[in-house]
């Protein structure tokens, strides 16, 4: 197995990680990524297999510990659905899925459509940053509605969320950690108060449903309730923001016309956008037992990086993978993960894209870039720092 050196904060890598992925994948499916100190899977077959292999999981073999100043963030992590395995994962996911049924998602569509039109109506004259004015607002307001959190809290929720998810980015510092801890403590305190108010005055929302489950007995602890709400608010918008932003950039860069956003073609276009430039590029797993994957022997406790962005550009599955082709037949990509931890919010994210993209390009038929957009230094996320356009 080769050892590869590639700083995840190198500016050239940040702007285009796919060149590194292609070189690595051509040399073999698995390599040791020196900067992360772990084996990484670069090809689709290995990533897909690891996503579904129950010999690997998200939950560490020993409890998550860390310095005292990280205690509030670690408390949320320890009770997060994302970091859990069965039976705890099965119990938590079953509760969350109550809000993500096909009917529940479909019922959100009229509100999302109205929201998209309202946001476009509010665009300032001249130049606009679509990332903050549109791509961020659609998912964060939608997830607020789903959970029952006041929409007026959206800016504060975004601040907390950005501080917390920065912990997963390359090159985190003590400043990053302290900001994440403050955000975790403040977010948790807000939710405790809000949950108490919902106990007194239940609503038609997921938080009320989770409270009811908690009050039934041992199905949901107070800490699990808070961590689940934080996860849904964070994950419920972070990925979709950049799925929309990266998607709009790709459509504008490639000159893809509005005919590819019609009802008959929108689904294949969305899947190709998600394949071509997904918002999450790395997802990690722990080995729970000795296992051999693609000729490499993992030991119990080893960590492995699944490179979702690399898997989505594997020429073994997608001919000419570096070309955006909205007519490409749909093949299952790894943008939303897979297996036990397949993203619970994937149907909602797809719905938001299915509505937000056609409405934007219909309302702004002369939409064009005001400046070349650049990706932010936030690996293992992959999203723009801004998306400045001329809407008219």
* Contact between 288 and 300 (Cβ < 8 Å): yes
pLDDT per residue of the chain (392 residues) written in tens, 0 to 9: 899 999 999 999 999 999 999 999 999 999 999 999 999 999 999 999 999 999 999 998 887 778 899 999 999 999 999 899 999 999 899 888 877 888 888 999 999 999 999 999 999 999 999 999 999 999 999 999 988 999 999 999 999 999 999 999 988 899 999 999 999 999 999 999 999 999 999 998 889 988 887 777 657 788 999 999 999 888 878 889 999 999 999 999 999 999 999 999 999 999 999 999 999 999 999 999 999 999 999 999 999 999 999 999 999 999 999 999 999 999 999 999 999 999 999 999 999 999 999 999 999 999 999 999 999 999 999 999 999 999 98
pLDDT at 214: 74
- pLDDT, one tens digit per residue, over 236-266 is 788 899 999 999 999 999 999 999 999 999 9
Q: What DSSP string describes 32-44?
A: EETTTTEEEE-SH
pLDDT at 190: 95
Cα–Cα distance, 348 to 105 (Å, whole number): 6
Cα–Cα distance, 61 to 122 (Å, whole number): 49
Of 310, 158, 149, 316, the C-alpha closest to 234 is 158
The residue assigned the tokens 């993992």 is: 298
Cα–Cα distance, 272 to 277 (Å, whole number): 9
Could you give the domains of the chain?
3-390 (1.10.630.10)
* Contact between 293 and 49 (Cβ < 8 Å): yes
* Contact between 333 and 278 (Cβ < 8 Å): yes
In 201-222, which positions are buried (b, 16+ CB within 10 angstroms) versus exposed (e)?
eeeebbbbbbbbbbeeeeebee
Of 318, 234, 316, the C-alpha closest to 279 is 234
- pLDDT, one tens digit per residue, over 52-86 is 999 999 998 887 778 899 999 999 999 999 899 99
Q: What DSSP string describes 74-137?
A: HHHHHT-GGG--TTHHHHHHHHHGGGSSHHHHHHTHHHHHHHHHHHHHTPPSS-EEHIIIIITH
Of 4, 112, 18, 5, the C-alpha closest to 309 is 18
pLDDT at 218: 57
30-33 and 3-4 as β-strands: parallel, antiparallel, unpaired?
parallel
* Contact between 298 and 291 (Cβ < 8 Å): yes
Cα–Cα distance, 2 to 216 (Å, whole number): 53
């Amino acid at each position: 197995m080769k050892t590869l050196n590639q700083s995840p904060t190198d500016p050239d890598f940040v702007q285009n990680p796919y060149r590194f992925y292609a070189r690595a994948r051509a040399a073999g499916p698995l390599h040791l990524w020196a900067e992360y100190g772990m084996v990484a899977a670069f090809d689709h077959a290995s990533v897909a297999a690891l996503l579904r292999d129950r010999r690997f999981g998200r939950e560490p073999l020993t409890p998550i510990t860390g310095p005292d100043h990280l205690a509030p963030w670690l408390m949320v992590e320890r009770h997060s659905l994302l970091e859990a395995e069965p039976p705890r994962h099965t119990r938590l996911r079953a509760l969350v899925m109550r809000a993500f049924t096909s009917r529940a998602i479909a019922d959100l569509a009229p509100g999302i459509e109205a929201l998209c039109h309202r946001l476009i109506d509010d665009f300032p004259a001249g130049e606009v940053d679509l990332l903050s004015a549109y791509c961020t607002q659609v998912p964060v307001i939608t997830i607020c509605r789903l959970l029952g959190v006041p929409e007026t809290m959206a800016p504060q929720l975004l601040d907390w969320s950005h501080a917390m998810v920065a912990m997963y980015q390359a090159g985190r510092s003590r400043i990053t950690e302290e900001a994440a801890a403050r955000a975790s403590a403040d977010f948790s305190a807000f939710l405790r108060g809000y949950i108490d108010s919902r106990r007194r005055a239940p609503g038609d929302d997921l938080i009320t449903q989770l409270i009811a489950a908690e009050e039934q007995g041992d199905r949901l602890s107070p800490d699990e309730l808070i961590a689940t709400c934080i996860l849904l608010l964070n994950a419920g918008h972070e990925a979709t923001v950049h799925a929309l932003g990266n998607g709009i950039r790709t459509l504008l860069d490639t000159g893809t016309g509005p005919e590819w956003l019609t009802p008959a073609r929108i689904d294949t276009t969305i899947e190709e956008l998600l394949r071509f430039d997904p918002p999450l590029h790395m997802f990690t797993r722990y080995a729970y037992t000795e296992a051999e994957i693609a000729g490499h022997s993992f030991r119990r406790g080893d960590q492995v990086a699944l490179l979702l962005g690399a898997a989505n550009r594997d020429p073994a599955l997608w001919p000419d993978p570096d070309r955006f082709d909205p007519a490409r037949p749909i093949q299952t990509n790894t943008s939303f993960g897979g297996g036990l931890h397949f993203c619970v919010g994937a149907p909602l994210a797809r719905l938001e894209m299915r509505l937000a993209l056609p409405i934007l390009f219909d309302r702004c038929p002369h939409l064009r870039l005001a400046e070349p957009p650049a990706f932010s230094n936030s690996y293992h996320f992959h999203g723009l720092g801004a998306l400045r356009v001329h809407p008219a």
